[in-house]
């Protein structure tokens, strides 16, 4: 047994760790118990979706082999523990890129599928599951299921976004997309309020593949921020940046994210980026994964850890709901300098429990201040509930069960595909087992 925490560092409960290293032995390993078990990759989920306190964690990072890559078609077959970073570094020089990645590339393929991660290109590329062609799934009863959009599609829909509860993903086949190199043609445009944000978003959807915004969540609900957009660029060969990675060396005794530091940081960041606004050629890594250059950045929130609150609400009520949430956050005195606002495209998600839906999503980090933080979340929950939205399971550590059930209408259908030998702290909290 050893203590394991998720990226939010809210707790570190003991787990029984079993490493999976040989795909041919995975079925026998998970069949042998003890139960319940749960697959665990890099632990980059923020809440309790990847935790199984006092139970088994099957560590998948040893399943890290690239099996086959067709440079003509862009089809990649790999084991579930392969990192998205390693795929990108192999395939981009060969003219192919992952169509969808989240805000960090330090996640496994299995984790990306299980959480059906999304990125900055949802309006063009959808989510990660839209590009998965097949999944090999091991169940704790010994059954091996190979599923995809055309082969056992119901198992595929349950496993994509299924938060690891349908079995252990052993390998997957993914369709990559053509790219001319590692560079992006980008533009940063400041906006003063939410009306300007939505206008920029609407104008960008047909012209730009990647769009995302940073928003100042403590400026009183006005919604000033920075809109960033980018397209793949064919600019020929140029030296790639040799950026030096920094590390947050210690866990400070108190959170470095507080009212004083937030106000100073947000004002300085907005002013600097507004002054630097305009077009630029940027390497894909700092554009897609800006925080990957600060290792262990989650330590800055101190010993109590932090929560991330990410919601999506329908577009027709998006402005009012986001404005109401920003006002509650400003009123609370808490806030986030990692406040991200973006829109999702008009497309149906592949997975039964996938998070993206047409609308607008707001993601924020909050230091853990106990009851005070939970009271703020209750007020945000009320706004999301009234708007007909949902909370992202990969980020959640405290959502009430009624909001979960209202936000995920295919839950009853999903339950038919659960593996009875698999459970997580999140599934027990929200599903009862």
pLDDT tens-place string over residues 129-147: 999 999 999 999 999 999 9
Residue 26 pLDDT exceeds 80: yes
pLDDT of residue 260: 80
What per-residue string of b and e applies to 221-241 under the rule 16 or more CB within 10 Å gives b? bebbbbbbbbebbeeeeeeee
Strands (E), 305-378: 306-313, 340-344, 359-367
The residue-averaged pLDDT of 32-41 equals 94
Return the CA Rg of the chain.
21
The pLDDT, as a whole number, for residue 334 is 82
pLDDT of 168 higher than 80: yes
pLDDT for 221 equals 59
What's the burial of 245, exposed, middle or buried (CB within 10 Å: 0-12/13-18/19+)? exposed
* pLDDT in the model for residue 220: 62
**Closest to 200 measured CA to CA, from 224, 234, 233:** 224
Neighbours of 12 (CB within 10 A): 14
- Residues 319, 339: Cα–Cα separation, whole Å: 16
| Look-up of token digits 């990759």 | 41
CA distances from 116 to 83, 236, 340, 347, 394 (A): 15, 33, 18, 14, 9
User: How much of the chain is helix, strand and coil, in % rounded to 5?
Assistant: 30, 25, 45
Angstrom distances, CA of residue 244 to CA of 292, 294, 309, 392: 11, 9, 30, 32
- CA-based nearest residue to 23, from 70, 64, 77: 64
**Cross-strand bridge partners of residue 313:** 360
pLDDT at 381: 98
Q: Given this model, what pLDDT does residue 332 score?
A: 87
Least confident among 71-75, 84-88, 100-104, 232-236: 232-236
Residue 244 has pLDDT above 80, yes or no: no
Neighbours of 200 (CB within 10 A): 21
- Determine the longest span between alpha carbons in the chain, in angstroms: 60
Q: What is the pLDDT of residue 363?
A: 97
The C-alpha angle 36, 53, 114, rounded to 5 degrees, equals 65
pLDDT, residue 178, reads 97
Q: What was the pLDDT predicted at 229?
A: 98
pLDDT category of residue 245 using cuts at 50, 70 and 90: confident
Average confidence (pLDDT) over 248-266 = 88
Question: pLDDT value at position 16?
Answer: 97
Q: How far apart are CA 331 and CA 191, in angstroms?
A: 22
d(CA 256, CA 412): 42
Q: Which of 78-87, 176-185, 297-306, 331-340 has the lowest mean pLDDT?
A: 331-340
pLDDT value, residue 217: 86
- Contact (Cβ atoms closer than 8 angstroms) between residue 156 and residue 135: yes
CA distances from residue 21 to 61, 265, 338 in whole angstroms, order as listed:
8, 44, 35
Q: What is the pLDDT of residue 394?
A: 98
Least confident of 236-240, 323-327, 355-359: 236-240
pLDDT at 258: 85
- Per-residue confidence at 322, pLDDT binned at 50, 70, 90? very high
Other CB atoms within 10 Å distance of the CB of residue 320: 14
Q: Are 161 and 117 in contact (CB under 8 A)?
A: no
Please write the tens of the pLDDT for every residue from 81-95.
999 999 999 999 999
- Global pTM reads 0.96
């Amino acid at each position: 047994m050893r203590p394991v925490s998720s990226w939010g560092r809210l707790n570190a409960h003991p787990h029984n760790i079993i490493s999976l290293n040989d795909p041919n032995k995975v079925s026998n390993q998970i069949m042998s118990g003890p139960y319940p078990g749960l697959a665990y990759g890099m632990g980059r989920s923020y809440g309790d979706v990847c935790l199984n306190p006092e139970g088994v964690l099957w560590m998948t990072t040893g399943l890290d082999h690239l099996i086959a890559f067709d440079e003509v078609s862009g089809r990649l077959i790999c084991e579930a523990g392969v990192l998205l970073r390693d795929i990108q570094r192999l395939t981009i020089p060969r003219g192919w890129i992952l169509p969808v990645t989240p805000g960090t590339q330090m996640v496994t393929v299995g984790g990306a599928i299980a959480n059906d991660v999304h990125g900055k290109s949802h309006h063009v590329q959808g989510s990660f599951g839209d590009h998965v062609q097949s999944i090999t799934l091991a169940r704790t009863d010994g059954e091996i299921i190979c599923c995809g959009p055309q082969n056992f599609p119901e198992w595929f829909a349950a496993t994509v976004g299924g938060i690891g509860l349908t079995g252990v993903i052993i390998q997957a086949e993914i369709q990559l997309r053509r790219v001319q190199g590692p560079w992006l043609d980008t533009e940063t445009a400041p906006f003063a309020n939410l009306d300007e944000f939505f206008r920029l978003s609407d104008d960008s959807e047909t012209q730009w593949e990647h769009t995302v915004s940073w928003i100042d969540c403590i400026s009183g609900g006005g919604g000033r921020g920075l809109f960033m957009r980018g397209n793949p660029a064919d600019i020929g060969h140029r030296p790639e940046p040799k950026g030096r990675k920094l590390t947050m060396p210690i866990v400070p005794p108190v959170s470095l994210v507080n009212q004083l530091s937030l106000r100073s940081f947000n004002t300085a960041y907005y002013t600097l980026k507004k002054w630097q606004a305009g077009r630029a050629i940027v390497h894909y890594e700092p554009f897609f994964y800006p925080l990957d250059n600060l290792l262990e950045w989650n330590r800055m929130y101190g010993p109590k850890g932090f929560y991330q609150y990410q919601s999506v609400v329908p577009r027709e009520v998006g402005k009012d709901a986001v404005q109401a949430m920003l006002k509650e956050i400003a009123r609370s005195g808490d806030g986030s300098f990692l406040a991200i606002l973006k829109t999702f495209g008009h497309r149906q998600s592949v997975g039964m429990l996938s998070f993206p839906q047409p609308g607008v999503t707001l993601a924020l980090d909050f230091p853990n201040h106990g009851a005070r933080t939970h009271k703020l979340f209750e007020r945000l929950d009320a706004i999301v509930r009234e708007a007909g939205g949902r909370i992202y399971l990969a980020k959640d550590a405290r959502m009430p069960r009624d909001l979960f059930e209202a936000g995920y209408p295919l839950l009853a259908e999903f339950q038919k595909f659960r593996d009875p030998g698999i459970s997580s702290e999140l599934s027990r909290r929200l599903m009862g087992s």
